[in-house]
Amino acid sequence: MQPSLERLLRHSLRGFAPYKPGTSVDEVKRRYGIEHPVKLSQNENPLGTSPRALAAIQKIATLSDYDEDDHATLRARLAAPYGLEVANVVLGHGSNELVMLVFNAFVDPGDEIVIGKPTFSLFRKDCDVVGGRTIEVPLRDGVHDLDAMLAAVTPKTKVVFVCDPNNPTGTRVERDALATFARALPADVLLVIDQAYREYMDASGTDGVDILRIRPATLVLRTASKIYGLASVRFGYGYASPEIVAWLNRVRLPFNVARPAAVAVLAALDDKEHMARSIDNNVRGLAQFASAFEKLGVTAYPSAANFVAVEVPIKAEDAFLALLERGVIVRSGDGLGMPGRLRVTVGTEAENLAFLAAFGDLLAQWRTRPLEVIA
């Protein structure tokens, strides 16, 4: 590092690794000369954006003015299904921004957060930026170990994150267990329930808002990036008490939600057909994966989301590269704290078949390789 930068850089950032996004389609085209790679690496909606949202964006007449800052209509629309108020809803430039705001508002250097291991990497990254301390509690059988997480809470704990369903494992916690956990947490600890994949869960999953009703120091995060197919416009939202919403709003940038995002989301929320098709595609895709994995003799965690975490008999990074060479982009579990597994997004039926064909073929090869090569 340049000597001048060494003095400049915040202490908490020394040794800080850059964020690694998944491999892009263009990169695979360029590197392997594959014309149509199958991208199952970023948990996006394989059916694309809600057509209603796209149509609404195309009708935008101007972008020359600053949009409204508080988006009361959109917040009211998001509050209504729960009988909540506008004051209970906070909007972000992606739910990623809301995670950052939690740290900006609540976490001082030396404060602690408690998270699962592995879970969504951003919780730890944002904590590192502000000089907080992350206590990582290993999952049990791929699921948040809520008893151990409760035991990890100390007087220094400010925030506990439960990602439900969890990225990268796809698992969810039991509804009663989460409610019991929420009640047992000290009242002055913020419980963040990140539900980016909530819409994919069946009726047995937790609705984080039910937890908010029994425990005011709770923030439930949702996103338009997944089931609504709107990752590009960057829009996330959260449900919390008016006090918590007010503090998050105080530390955010003005006009953090761009007009195209607000317009698209309002339209997408009414697109019941796109939502139903997306859920149906996911249910069928998860079943397709489950039956293929059984035949192939590999195990995956039970998934409540739109991706699966499947075991491979070689190093995950090597398995990822072998699939890449065949034009299938997945995520290596190595970089996600999940060695020995791949994270594979549910695609269309054809995309799933393309992955399964390459995967089945490679599995046969991997299983015949001598152990010392694959260790």
Instruction: Report if residue 258 touches ligand PLP, rule: CB under 6 A.
Output: no
Q: How many CB atoms lie within 10 A of CB 68?
A: 13
Residue among 236, 260, 285, 347 that touches ligand PLP (CB under 6 A): 236
User: What are residue 345's DSSP bridge partners?
Assistant: 307
Residues 6+ apart with CB under 8 A from 104: 130, 251
Rounded CA-CA distance 308/203 in Å is 19
275 binds ligand PLP (CB under 6 A): no
For position 260 contacting ligand PLP by CB under 6 A, the verdict is no
Distance CA 281, CA 190 (A): 35
Taking CB under 6 A as the criterion, the residue among 112, 126, 164, 194 binding ligand PLP is 194
Binding mask 24-63 for ligand PLP (x = CB under 6 A): -------------------x--------------------
- Least Cα distance to 93 among 217, 238, 269 occurs for 238
Would you count residue 337 as binding ligand PLP (CB under 6 A)? Answer: no
Give the contact letters, 82-101, x = binds to ligand PLP (CB under 6 A), - = no.
------------xxx-----
Backbone angles phi, psi at 42, to 5 degrees: -125, 20
225 binds ligand PLP (CB under 6 A): yes
What is the identity of the amino acid at 263?
V
Q: How far is the CB of 83 from ligand PLP (least distance, A)?
A: 24
Contact 224, 268 (CB under 8 A): yes
- Using the minimum distance from each CB to ligand PLP, give the nearer residue, 163 or 191: 163
Q: How far is the CB of 267 from ligand PLP (least distance, A)?
A: 18
Q: Which of 341, 332, 96, 128 is nearest to 234 (CA)?
A: 96
Q: Shortest distance, CB of residue 331 to ligand PLP, whole angstroms? A: 10
Is residue 167 part of the contact set for ligand PLP (CB under 6 A)? yes
Sheet containing 112-117: order of strands: 89-92, 236-239, 218-223, 190-194, 157-163, 112-117, 133-138
Residue 256 in the binding site for ligand PLP (CB under 6 A): no
Q: Is there a contact between 268 and 228 (Cβ–Cβ < 8 Å)?
A: yes
The count of residues interacting with ligand PLP (CB under 6 A) is 13
- Cβ closest to ligand PLP, residue 292 vs residue 306: 306
Report the residue number, 145 or 318, with the smaller CB distance to ligand PLP: 145
* Residue 262 is a binding residue for ligand PLP (CB under 6 A): no
- The angle formed by the CA atoms of residues 315, 317 and 321, to the nearest 5 degrees, is 120
237 lines the binding site for ligand PLP (CB under 6 A): no
Q: Contact residues for ligand PLP (CB under 6 A)? A: 43, 94-96, 120, 163, 167, 194, 196, 223, 225, 231, 236
